[in-house]
Amino acid sequence: MTSNLLQDSRIRSVAWRDLTRLAWWEIVEELTLSLPWLVLSLWLAARALYLPAAGASFVFYLTGLRQVHNAFHFTLGLPRWASDAVMLTLSVGMLGSMHAVRFNHMRHHRHCMADDDVEAMSATMGAWRALLTGPLFPIRMHTQALRGANRNQRRWIIAELAANVVWVALVFLVLRVPALRYQRRRDGAGPVPLVVLLRLDSPSRVRPVAHAGADPSQSTQIVRHL
C-alpha cells in the first residue's frame, strides 16, 4: 500500500519541504507554540475561570506534545543540548519526564505494537478501557524508561523528576500565587488523559498510529503539516 501510494503521480508531484533546515522565525514559532496557551490558562485561573482555564490547559498539553515530539527527533532546528533543554523545561511545565517519554517514543518506532511498546499500550483497547488504564500509563512509562535507559538518559530522567518535585514544593510551600496552584493541580491530573493525548497528537507532523490487528510494519501513517 505504501509503495503504491508513493508511485501515485499526484503524490510525487508535491514539492515536499519536510526535513529541511528551519528558518529562524520557524524555530521561534516552534519554541513558543505552547506559550500563549500556558499564559491564557494562568490568566483565566487567576480570575477563577477554571473551566475555560482547563480548556486552555488542554491545548497547552497538545501543543507541548507537538514541541517535545520535534525535540525527540531533534527537528526543532536547535543543537542537541538545546533540544534536551527544551525537554527539561517542558518536563516542569507538564509534570513528568519528557526524556522518559522520548525513550518510550523511540522504542515505539523501533518495536511498534510489541509487548514492551508502552506508548501503544492502549492501541488495542476500547475507548473506556483506555481511559480507565490511563492512570497506569505514566507509571509504566517512567518505570520502563528508568529500567531500559542508558546512563545519560537516566540522568536526564532523574533530573527532570527532581525538578518536578522542587517546582511543586515551591508552588505549594513558598509561592503564594493561586493561579500557579491551579496549574500544578491541573498538571497532576494531566497524566490521566495523557495516554489519550499521545494517541490523538494530531499536531505532530509524523505520528505513529497503531491499529488493532494490523501488521506492525504497516501501522505507521505519515501525517504532514496538520
Residues 205-222 have pLDDT tens digits of 333 334 334 444 444 333
Comparing C-alpha atoms, which of 12, 53, 62 is closest to residue 33? 62
Domain ranges of the chain: 24-221
Determine contact, residues 204/142, Cβ cutoff 8 Å. no
DSSP 119-161: GGTTTTS-HHHHHHTTTHHHHHHHHHHHHH--HHHHHHHHHHH
Contact partners, residue 54, CB within 8 Å, separation at least 6:
41, 186
Packing angle, helices 178-189 and 50-72, rounded to 10: 60
What does the pLDDT read at residue 194? 38
pLDDT digits (tens, 9 = 90+) for 141-163: 999 999 999 999 999 999 999 99
- From 169, 107, 93, 164, select the one nearest 140 (Cα to Cα): 107
Q: Is 107 helix (H, G, I), strand (E, B) or coil?
A: helix
What's the CA gap between 210 and 164, in Å, rounded?
31
Q: In this predicted structure, what is the pLDDT of residue 19? A: 61
- Per-residue pLDDT of 63-122, as tens digits, reads 999 999 999 999 999 999 999 999 999 999 998 999 999 999 998 888 888 888 888 888
151: its cell numbers? 546512563
What's the pLDDT tens digit per position in 49-60? 888 988 898 899
Mean pLDDT of 123-129: 83
